[in-house]
Amino acid sequence: MALKMSDYRSTYFADWCPGCGDFGILSAIQMAFADLQLPPHRTVVFSGIGCSGKTPHCLKVNGIHTLHGRTLPFAIGAKLANPDLEVIAAGGDGDGLGIGAGHFVNTGRRNIDITYLIHDNGVYGLTKGQASPTLELGLKTKALPKPNLNSAINPVAIALASGYTFIARSYSYDVRHLKEMIKKGIQHHGLALIIIQQPCPTYNDINTKEWYGGEDRIDPKTGKPTPRLYSLEETGYDGVVHNQEEVFQKYIAALTKAQEWGDRIPMGVFYQNELVPTYAERISKRIPTYLENPPAKQPISDPSGKPITSIEKMLEELKVTG
């Protein structure tokens, strides 16, 4: 029997503020899971600390709510041990780009086949509104005592430079677009990153729903707002690398697009390159039975508890008498 979107929602009460972008992200995740019919036992959502950290509790799949900034190492550990798992990591901008920045960068080196969602709202919500690494220099969101002294980092550019092989941006209130991006990310053969722009109705009074929607920019001809977010696909942009020769050109194109912010913010796939071997493929070159008999599926003893791992070869090398 096919699983519906509602079959992925647990009874856990989501205690996000009214109007929080996390509700949209949760719905998009449920929809993507239902579209892909992911079996709940084989699916694991890892999260970090912060408002987004509560996402796994709301879902009826395995949910591992980890430490601040450490979502990726936990997720990688599980995927390495059992490559059959469908692993999704979800965390905030502070979680992934501040305290967890080292993991964010180094995960890119591995092209491990997991999907990472960054909930990006420019603030640390749960600790009451401090500036996150994606908040621009000089902005003073509601709870800041003084304007932000730090510049914002560019997650798309960092992801490119670090080796992520699928990089997309979406928006928490465009649930359909977000669902499509999450699906593409999960289906991507390799490491996928989806940066989700998300208003924080309580603490970010600058990058609001109205701001993203361009309600301060009424088109004099139509009298309608001019949204800041636009679709890359609709402009004819194609971030997919089709062959090795295209890699540099697509990389530069994505890096260029990554600079756009403010009045025009691109959504969609910046870059996708499935020609890079995944971590599992790299391991398999050294350990041919890795995918067939990964760590999680290996027996380690007989039923009586007798170990079955032979260390005879190593002992032979160390042997000096007898």
Partner 1 sequence: MIRDELVWMAGGPQGSGVDSAANIFGRACCYGGLHVYGKREYHSNIKGLHSYFHIRVSPKEVRADVDRVDLLCTFDAESVVRHIWEVAQGGGVICDTEALATRIFEIPTLTPAFWTEFRKTLEQRGIKPETVGDLLNEVKKNNVRTYAIPFTDLLKEIAKEIGEEKLSKLTRMINVLALGASFGLVDYDKAHVEKAIRMIFGDKPKIISMNLLALTKAYDYAKQRFGDFGFKLEAVQTDEKRIFLQGTQAAALGKLVGGCRLQTYYPITPAADESEYLEENEVLQLEQSEVKGAGGSIIIMQTEDEIAAINMASGAALTGVRAATATSGPGFSLMVEGLGWAGNSEVPIVVTYYQRGAPSTGLPTRHGQSDLRFAMHASHGEFPRIILSSGDIEECFYDAARAFNYAERYQTPVIHLIDKALANSNKSYRMFDPSLVKVERGQLLTEQDVKGKEYKRFEFTESGISPRVPLGTPGVFFWNTGDEHDEVGNINEEPVNRTLMLEKRMRKLDLAHKEIPVEERVNFFGDPDAPATVVSWGSPKGAVIEAMERLSQEGFKLNFIQVRMPIPLPKEYLAEKLGKAQKKIMVEGNYMAQLAGVIREETGILMDYFVLKWNGRPMSADEVYEALKLIIQEKAPKRQVLTHGT
- Contact residues: partner 1, CB under 8 A: 12, 39-44, 46, 49, 54, 56-57, 60-67, 70, 72-82, 84-85, 102-103, 105-106, 283, 286-287, 289-290, 292-293, 295-302, 305-315, 318-322
Kind of pairing, strands 115-120 and 86-92? Answer: parallel
Closest to partner 1 by CB, 64 vs 265, is 64
Closest to partner 1 by CB, 50 vs 199, is 50
Q: What is the DSSP string of 27-74?
A: HHHHHHHHHHT--GGGEEEEE-SSGGGGGGGGBSSEEEE--TT-HHHH
Please enumerate in sequence order all residues whose Cβ is within 8 A of that of 224, keeping only pairs 6 or more positions apart, or say none: 218
Closest to partner 1 by CB, 45 vs 241, is 45
Are the beta carbons of 169 and 195 closer than 8 angstroms? yes
Can you tell me whether residue 256 is helix, strand or coil?
Answer: helix
Q: How far apart are CA 289 and CA 276, in angstroms?
A: 21
Closest to partner 1 by CB, 146 vs 319, is 319
Shortest approach of partner 1 to residue 7 CB, angstroms? Answer: 12
Shortest approach of partner 1 to residue 286 CB, angstroms? Answer: 7
Closest to partner 1 by CB, 72 vs 232, is 72
Shortest approach of partner 1 to residue 268 CB, angstroms? Answer: 30
CA dihedral 77, 83, 85, 91 (to 10 degrees): 40
Shortest approach of partner 1 to residue 139 CB, angstroms? Answer: 30
Can you tell me whether residue 159 is helix, strand or coil?
Answer: helix
Closest to partner 1 by CB, 45 vs 123, is 45
Closest to partner 1 by CB, 63 vs 129, is 63
Shortest approach of partner 1 to residue 8 CB, angstroms? Answer: 11
Rg (CA), the chain: 22
Shortest approach of partner 1 to residue 285 CB, angstroms? Answer: 12
Kind of pairing, strands 229-231 and 265-272? Answer: parallel
The angle, 0 to 180 degrees and rounded to 10, between the axes of the packed helices 71-81 and 101-108 is: 40
Q: Which of 113, 97, 115 lies closest to 105, judged by CA? A: 97
Shortest approach of partner 1 to residue 117 CB, angstroms? Answer: 17
Q: How far apart are CA 227 and CA 27, in angstroms?
A: 22
Shortest approach of partner 1 to residue 124 CB, angstroms? Answer: 17
Q: What is the DSSP string of 282-300?
A: HHHHHSTTTTTS-GGG---
Which residue shows structure tokens 């109705």? 201
Closest to partner 1 by CB, 57 vs 183, is 57
Closest to partner 1 by CB, 147 vs 295, is 295
Are the beta carbons of 165 and 274 closer than 8 angstroms? yes
Shortest approach of partner 1 to residue 156 CB, angstroms? Answer: 21
Q: How far apart are CA 294 and CA 155, in angstroms?
A: 33
